[in-house]
Each structure stands twice: as C-alpha cells, then as structure tokens.
Amino acid sequence: MTPLAQELARLIRDEGPLSVSRYMALALGHPRHGYYMKQDPFGAAGDFTTAPEISQIFGELIGLWAATAWRMMGEPAPFRLVELGPGRGTLMQDMLRAGKVVSGFREALTVHMVETSPVLRERQRATLAASGMAPVWHERIEDALDGPALIVANEFLDALPLDQFVLTPEGWRERLVGLDGEGRFAFGLSAEPEGRMARAAPQGAVLEQPLAALETVATVARHVAAEGGAGLFIDYGAVQTGFGDTLQAMRQHGFVDPLAEPGDADLTVHVDFERMAQAGRAAGAAVHGAVTQRDFLLALGLEQRVAALSRRAVPEQAARLAAGASRLVAADRGTDMGQLFKVLALADPRLPLLPGFDLHRLPEQAAP
Ligand code: SAH
C-alpha cells in the first residue's frame, strides 16, 4: 500500500466513504503524497506525455495565437499572460519564443503561472530561466488575474476533481470510495438518493459533476468579460454532454485501476466542453468553439510551420518535426489527439472571432 493509500484507508474508517472529488483531490494534491506534489510525471520516463512535450510547434502556434489575440485586444500594455497548470513550463517557453515575431507583445506582457506543485514550480522556473521574463507563481487563479489577460490551460481541467452520481431505481445516488471486506478500496453508492436531480437517463447511467472545472471556467470568463482578454482551454473530452464514468488512471503510459495506487498514478477525467461553454456564457463571455485540436492547429498553420522549420533542419530533425506534428493532429482512431482533444475559448464579447475558430478560413483555402 502506498503511504497515501494507508492515510485514505484510515480516513474512510474514521469518517466513512469519500466522495470521488475528495478521493481525486487527495490522490493528486495531498501536500506530501499527492501525485503532482511529489514528482515530475511527464515524458518518456514518466507516466504520460502532453502536447507541448511532443512538439515545440504546439506551443509556438499557441504563442502566435496569443500574440494575434493581443493585437485584436488593441495591444494593451501591460497585460498578463497566465498559464494554469503549466507542467514543465514547456508550453510557456515555446509561446514566448514564438511571440517575439509580433512587435511589442513580449514587452507588454508579464508571465503568471498558477501551480500548486512545488516540484513542478521548480521545474518551470528552470525551464523559463533563459526566457528573460520574471514569472510570478500563484496558488489560485483568482490571485493571478488583474487587468487584461490571456489565459491558457492545456490538460488542466482534466486534473480537477469531480463528483459522480449513478441512476438507480430509487433515484440518483452518489458514487463513493469505501473499503471492501478485505480492506481494499472499492466503489459504492450513497445510502440516500439525491432528491434534487432530474431523472431523464437510463438506469445505471453515470452523471459527472465537475464543479471545480466549472468554477475555474466561470472565473476566467467573468474576468475577461470585465477586463478584456480571453481564456483558451485545451483538453480531452466531448463537445456535447453525455453520461458515463470518465475517471481514469495512468501509469507508465498505460491505464491502471483508479483505486489501485492513489498518489502513484495520474488521475484524470474527460472534460464536458458543452457544460464548460455554458458556464462561460453564463459568466458573460463569448464562446469560441469548441473545435477539435486537429482543426484548431491546422487553422493556425501547423503544416506551414512544419515546412518552414524543416527547411532549416537536417533530415533527421525534419523527420522528427513531421512525426511530432502529425501526432498532434492525427484523427484516425478515437484515441488520437487530433480528434479526442478539443479547444474552447472564452473571450471578451467585444473581440472578433479568435484565430483557429473560423473553420471556413483554413490555410489551404486562403487566397494566395
Ligand atoms: N499543461 C501542462 C501540464 C498538464 S498536467 C502540459 O500540458 O504539459 C496538470 C498540471 O496542473 C500540473 O502542472 C499540475 O501540477 C497542475 N495542477 C493540478 N491541479 C491543480 C490545481 N488545483 N491548481 C493548480 N495547478 C494544478
């Protein structure tokens, strides 16, 4: 048993079964034993790989997106470039480098990072040491927002805890994490059904309630609607709300039982982009997308970027660039990033449609 598993088992014996959100929050964020709090989980030697770690082109295109959005905002100076859950800091590093081509952009911005993990904060500091910027770290989003802002979050919402409910003949019951006869973690259901929830679902349906993600999105939306700017959320999930248990655990690039190794495996959920968009709209922002990551990156000029970088590269480098870029947009199977990942922007309603969301102006179709 992991040290965290022992602590959680004690908690369940003392206080009763845990909600899925409490289990997830402790597995990921326990101050000493939480998954993100004690280690750097990324890369080939880690548990999973994210888009910025696959290809520099991902961050470069998002940097150009941000610089273009900043121009559409009327080039406010100063303004904040904020990243939520920046991992190793690679996305921010690539964004800042690419943003150099838009004059005045880098001079106008200050970098703000929202990160709870001390290990990853150190890693981000090292990555950005040569960038010439002086990033400021925050525990909470609210503290990172002040004035016009562009907020970027890649694979952040999927790490925020949610609750689950299951439809039984007596109504919706909350899914809880308890202990079985042998002292192992097991899912169970609350004794009392939830009275207030609608019933239009098949028996056994699982309904997820992503309160922390919805709050995050609403905070960003409220801020940009009032102070100017936009938030960009990239993650895996569906464009339309559906039923189903999406809680998953990953270790060494494979799926494992979410209850087996709390603190030692990454725990995530799929993002419900329809509900995120609704929360953003309700908070006063305009909704752009969601579109697939494939459509978004191709519209931003992924292929042109690969071609431009390849002209200056030796053949092996060019092959690596092409392979990385194609992983970002591949859409052959349901698990490929291009189709599974979606991109949603929540923007100040005074802004025009942001780059990447106008699917009628794909680069291939643009006038020469
Ligand atoms: N964006 C990065 C990392 C994604 S992993 C990438 O694409 O590579 C999720 C990140 O969010 C990690 O940096 C993790 O430490 C951070 N994180 C998780 N929960 C958080 C929370 N509640 N507040 C702030 N950061 C959080």
What separation in Å is there between the alpha carbon of 85 and the centre of ligand 1?
3
Give the pLDDT of residue 359. Answer: 67
User: Atom 2 (ligand 1): residue with closest C-alpha?
Assistant: 87
Is the pLDDT score of 210 beyond 70?
yes
Give the pLDDT of residue 199. Answer: 73
The lowest-confidence range among 115-124, 151-160, 315-324, 353-362 is 353-362
More confident residue, 33 or 195: 33
Model confidence pLDDT, tens digit, residues 37-69? 988 888 777 888 999 999 999 999 999 999 999
Q: With a 6 A CB cut-off, is 161 part of the ligand 1 pocket?
A: no
| Residues paired with 48 in a beta bridge | 42
- Give φ, ψ of 350 to 5 degrees: -75, -10
Sign of CA dihedral 210, 215, 216, 217: positive
User: Atom 6 (ligand 1): residue with closest C-alpha?
Assistant: 87
What separation in Å is there between the alpha carbon of 74 and the centre of ligand 1?
30
Give the pLDDT of residue 117. Answer: 96
Model confidence pLDDT, tens digit, residues 260-306? 999 999 999 999 999 999 999 999 999 999 999 999 999 999 999 99
CA distance readout (Å), 186 to 205, 222, 348: 18, 39, 44
Q: How far apart are CA 104 and CA 42, in angstroms?
A: 33
Is the pLDDT score of 246 beyond 80?
yes
pTM: 0.96
The lowest-confidence range among 102-116, 193-207, 273-287 is 193-207
- Output the DSSP codes for 295-314: HHHHHTTHHHHHHHHHHTS-
Give the pLDDT of residue 364. Answer: 43
pLDDT band of 2, cuts 50, 70, 90 = confident
pLDDT band of 362, cuts 50, 70, 90 = very low
Question: Which residue out of 116, 119, 343 has the highest number of ligand 1 atoms within 8 Å of its CB and is therefore the one to mutate?
Answer: 116
Is the pLDDT score of 368 beyond 80?
no
Rounded mean pLDDT, 217-236: 98
What separation in Å is there between the alpha carbon of 88 and the centre of ligand 1?
9
More confident residue, 195 or 98: 98
Is the pLDDT score of 334 beyond 80?
no
Angle between helices 56-72 and 315-329 (to 10 degrees): 60
Question: Which residue out of 22, 36, 58, 83 has the highest number of ligand 1 atoms within 8 Å of its CB and is therefore the one to mutate?
Answer: 36
What separation in Å is there between the alpha carbon of 273 and the centre of ligand 1?
18
Q: How far apart are CA 142 and CA 226, in angstroms?
A: 14
Model confidence pLDDT, tens digit, residues 19-41? 999 999 999 999 999 999 988 88
Model confidence pLDDT, tens digit, residues 302-320? 999 999 999 999 999 999 9
What separation in Å is there between the alpha carbon of 167 and the centre of ligand 1?
31
Q: With a 6 A CB cut-off, is 35 part of the ligand 1 pocket?
A: no
pLDDT band of 149, cuts 50, 70, 90 = very high
User: Among residues of the chain, what percentage have pLDDT more than 90?
Assistant: 89
Give the pLDDT of residue 32. Answer: 95
CA distance readout (Å), 304 to 102, 103, 117, 289, 349: 18, 21, 36, 23, 30
Torsion of Cα atoms, 297 then 303 then 304 then 305, to 10°: 70
Give the pLDDT of residue 266. Answer: 95
Instruction: Report the mean per-residue pLDDT for the chain.
Output: 94
Rounded mean pLDDT, 316-329: 95
Other CB atoms closer than 10 Å to residue 278's CB: what's the count? 16
